[in-house]
Amino acid sequence: MAVKNYQLGRDAKLYAGAAGSTPATEIKDVKDLSLSLTQDEIDVTTRTAKGWKAAAPGLREAEISFDLLCAAGSTEAKLFLNAYKGGADGTVTSANYVAIKIVDNSIDGLASFEADCMVSDCSMEQNLEDAIKLSIKLKPTVYDDTRPPTLTIS
């Protein structure tokens, strides 16, 4: 009998830090993180395909979404709220970006994803019977041209 050791979401980690650097601060109050990876399809159908449509891989896209429980004075919540807000007057500045690293498991993991990201959505929920939480969506950007988004398969 083979024993399967399934990876559990509770063992995954989210790290954040200043854009342009390797994120090192673990964001511990995260719930339900999702990394969505998609790829465009380029139609390369020609007569040589003998009536079949043919496709080639195009541009890739990633979206990271998660809920963040808000403790009183939470530096984690402030990090993402400030990244959404940007400059003091709301202008786009380096403060609009945050470095992110997602690791599914520190031992025998399947994949990790690292990128400098912009906060594309930041919604606050204040339900009566639940903790206040931020629902965050991030999209990779090229803040530092030496740090393109990276998907690493272990």
Residues 92, 84 contacting (CB under 8 angstroms): no
Is the distance from CB of 84 to CB of 6 less than 8 angstroms? no
Tens-place pLDDT, residues 99-119: 999 998 766 678 999 999 999
pTM above 0.85, yes or no: yes
CA pair distance 62, 36, nearest whole angstrom: 6
> Could you tell me if residue 5 is inside a domain?
no
Residue 109 sits in a domain whose CATH number is: 4.10.410
> Looking at the domain assignment, is residue 3 inside a domain?
no
Summarised one tens digit per residue, pLDDT across range 3-55 is 877 788 888 999 999 999 999 999 999 999 999 999 999 999 999 999 999 99
What is the rounded distance in angstroms from the CA atom of residue 80 to the CA atom of residue 148?
20
Specify if 58 maps to a domain. yes
Q: How confident is the model at residue 76 (pLDDT cuts 50, 70, 90)?
A: very high
Q: What is the pLDDT of residue 90?
A: 64
Considering the chain, what is the average pLDDT of its residues?
A: 90
Does the pLDDT of residue 94 top 80, yes or no? Answer: no
With respect to residue 42, please indicate whether it lies within any of the assigned structural domains: yes
Q: Tell me how far CA of residue 83 lies from CA of 36, 76, 99, 117, in angstroms.
A: 21, 11, 10, 9
115 or 87, higher pLDDT: 115
Residue 1 belongs to some domain of the structure: no
CB crowding 38-47: b at 16 or more within 10 Å, else e = eeeeeeeeee
Percentage of the residues of the chain whose pLDDT score is greater than 90: 71
Angle, CA 62 vertex, CA 58 and CA 68 arms, to 5°: 175
Range of the domain at 108: 11-153
**Does 68 map to a domain?**
yes
